[in-house]
Amino acid sequence: MPTALWMQCGACGGDTMSFLGMGAPHLPDFLKELNLTLWHPSLNRWEHGAYAQLLADLRYRSRSLDILLVEGFILDQSGESGGFDTLQGEPKAAILRQLASWAGAVIAVGTCACFGGIGKLGAVQATGLQYHHRRPGGLLGEQFRSQRGWPVINLPGCPVHPTVLQDTLCAVCENRLPALNNHQAPEDWFGILVHQGCTRNEYHEYRVEDSDFGGPGCMFFHMGCRGPLTYAPCNKVLWNGRNSKTNAGVPCFGCTHPDFPQEHPFFHTPNIVDVPLELPDGVDRAHYLAYKGMAAAAAPDRLVKRKSRV
Ligand code: SF4
């Protein structure tokens, strides 16, 4: 029976909430199907001292650990104490290093655990498991490999989508490493842009833009939508099987990106003379501007009129 330990570090608990809210199958059935023993702070009731004993068993290798899941950024204070986030007086950074060296696979759950995420807004030094934002390294270092010879599997998102976690756990329990992209996130889920599959694509194409929430138009030029820059499955696998931010008329704010959160305010597109500073990933500025000018002039009436009716 495979075993997994879920550790929470600098986390809001959002990834746990997402995980607990898994749809079909529900979490208890899913764990049964995988035959997975999962130790999780929100799922287990610990008798006094039992958690400390479990941790000691795992750290000193008297129990096997197939999967280590980490939620939240790690307060490392490189070379210093790491003492802002401790467990029974010991920095979690030290405990994680030890557990990771012994685990079959290590999974970073959520953007904070992957890249440091929200941790960069704080006064203390926070990092991800194997990345510090877009720079490889993080707590475990670029060369880290788990017992199975795998790098950390990054599942970014604020929070991670439960289907992504579910699918990755299935693969890992079958001893399969999913194909990873250049930030070590599964290609199947993070190989496409939020923009691909957005219901507003035709508006983007003709530059029919919104400047307020809830309209039908594209939100790239005025409302800070980062869909064309963000690799994530939000429009491939909808939340609660129903919706995504962009479907609902709220701009994507790029929560799976290694640099999340961005420096400038959400819902605002930094621009020069109405041209966004950041263009869709891989797009050449000169060609994009020429194309957008022509596309706006060619916008069909049905799009322009639909937008003006809202
Ligand atoms: S709203 Fe965002 S994701 Fe949707 S088409 Fe516009 S830029 Fe792309």
Whole-number Å distance, alpha carbon 227 to ligand 1 midpoint, is 5
pLDDT at 310: 58
Would the CB of 183 count as within 6 Å of ligand 1? no
Query: What atom of ligand 1 comes closest to residue 194's alpha carbon?
Result: 3
Query: What atom of ligand 1 comes closest to residue 252's alpha carbon?
Result: 2
C-beta neighbour count of 289 within 10 angstroms: 13
- The third-level CATH classification (topology) of the domain covering 192-310 is Cytochrome-c3 Hydrogenase; Chain A, domain 2 (4.10.480)
Residues 6+ apart with CB under 8 A from 301: none
Whole-number Å distance, alpha carbon 176 to ligand 1 midpoint, is 34
The domain defined by 3-187 carries CATH number 1.10.10.10 = no
Which is higher by pLDDT, 1 or 187? 187
pLDDT in tens, 144-190: 999 999 999 999 999 999 999 999 999 999 999 999 999 999 999 99
Which residues sit opposite 132 in a β-bridge? 135
Would the CB of 208 count as within 6 Å of ligand 1? no
Query: What atom of ligand 1 comes closest to residue 225's alpha carbon?
Result: 2
pLDDT value at 252 more than 80: yes
* Integer Cα distance of 306 and 304 in angstroms: 6
Could you tell me which of 12, 200, 35 has the C-alpha nearest to residue 118? 12
Would the CB of 207 count as within 6 Å of ligand 1? no
Would the CB of 7 count as within 6 Å of ligand 1? no
Would the CB of 193 count as within 6 Å of ligand 1? no
Domain boundaries, the chain: 3-187, 192-310
Q: What is the dihedral of CA 247, 230, 11, 123, to 10 degrees?
A: -120
| Strand ranges, E, within the chain | 3-8, 37-39, 67-71, 74-75, 86-87, 90-91, 105-109, 126-127, 131-132, 135-136, 153-155, 271-272, 275-276
pLDDT at 120: 81
Would the CB of 223 count as within 6 Å of ligand 1? no
pTM of the model: 0.94
pLDDT value at 43 more than 70: yes
Per-residue DSSP letter, 92? H
Whole-number Å distance, alpha carbon 121 to ligand 1 midpoint, is 27
pLDDT in tens, 63-100: 999 999 999 999 876 555 666 788 888 899 999 999 99
